[in-house]
Structure 1
């Protein structure tokens, strides 16, 4: 079972084909949901990488059970979202 934490904010979300979906803007560790900005700006990506961002209203909600693996730089989904 994959467990999401606030340490995952700023990581890139990758789909099953290896394509970038977006950047994790926020994580709700209690609900185990990552919020992903599908079109982050360069400035927003840097802010998220430093852990200072918030989820936006156009962010995609990705539940932990959709995430197959977590590395130092990315989250990979197990299936199409």
Structure 2
């Protein structure tokens, strides 16, 4: 199981095949949940990349148990969302 932190905000969420699912907008480290904007526009991606965004109602929740690896730029899930 991966351990999520607020440092993961702004990273891309990728599926097991390497396809981009969205961008992490916010992480709740206590609940170990990442909130992901599934279709960010360019402005949202830029803001999230700088770490200034917040989760909103259309974000999907990804629990840490679904994340297999974390790198400097992405989180990769091991299951289909």
TM-score by length of 2: 0.97
The 3-state SS of whatever aligns with 1:3 is coil
Q: Where do 4+ consecutive residues of structure 1 move more than 6 Å?
A: none
The residue that corresponds to 2:47 in the other structure is: 47
| Residue-by-residue CA offset, 1:41-60 (whole Å, 9 max, x unaligned) | 11111111111000010001
Instruction: For structure 1, list consecutive stretches of 5 or more residues without a partner in the other structure.
Output: none
RMSD: 0.6
Q: Distance in 2 between matches of 1:10 and 1:42?
A: 13
The residue that corresponds to 2:76 in the other structure is: 76
Equivalent residues in 2 for 1:1-81 (5 A)?
1-81=1-81
Q: Distance in 1 between matches of 2:50 and 2:30?
A: 21
What is the number of equivalent residue pairs in this alignment? Answer: 81
Instruction: For structure 2, list consecutive stretches of 5 or more residues without a partner in the other structure.
Output: none
TM-score by length of 1: 0.97
